[in-house]
């Protein structure tokens, strides 16, 4: 069992909506222990999660809260 402090990331749980927005659903948020996103706007699909550092830059939520929570990775170009 994972601890609540383990970092995780997931997409919004769009199943709540009659008409999910297929364009913005691609965004991945950083999760909190209560299954909300760090940005506080979305309830996340917590049965399909990523390790935050595996989420591609282009998919990361840029909203305040999530934005600061993404792990900083060394620039690949450094090698």
- Looking at the DSSP bridge assignments, the partners of residue 50 are 9
Min dist CB 60 to Zn ion, Å, is: 8
Q: Does 39 bind Zn ion (CB under 5 A)?
A: yes
Contact string (CB under 5 A) for Zn ion, positions 59-78, x = contact: --x-x--x------------
Q: Please state the length of the chain.
A: 79
Q: Which of 45, 40, 41 has its CA nearest to residue 9?
A: 45
Site for Zn ion in 6-35 (CB under 5 A): 29
Question: Which of 8, 9, 11, 37: binder of Zn ion (CB under 5 A)?
Answer: 37
- Residues with Cβ < 8 Å from 15, sequence gap 6 or more? 45
């Amino acid at each position: 069992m994972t601890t609540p402090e383990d970092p995780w990331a997931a997409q919004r749980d769009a199943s709540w909506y009659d008409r999910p927005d297929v364009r913005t659903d691609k965004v991945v948020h950083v999760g909190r222990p209560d299954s909300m996103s760090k940005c506080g706007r979305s309830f996340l699909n917590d049965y399909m999660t990523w390790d935050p550092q595996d989420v591609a830059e282009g998919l990361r939520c840029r909203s305040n809260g999530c934005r600061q929570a993404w792990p900083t990775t060394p620039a690949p170009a450094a090698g």
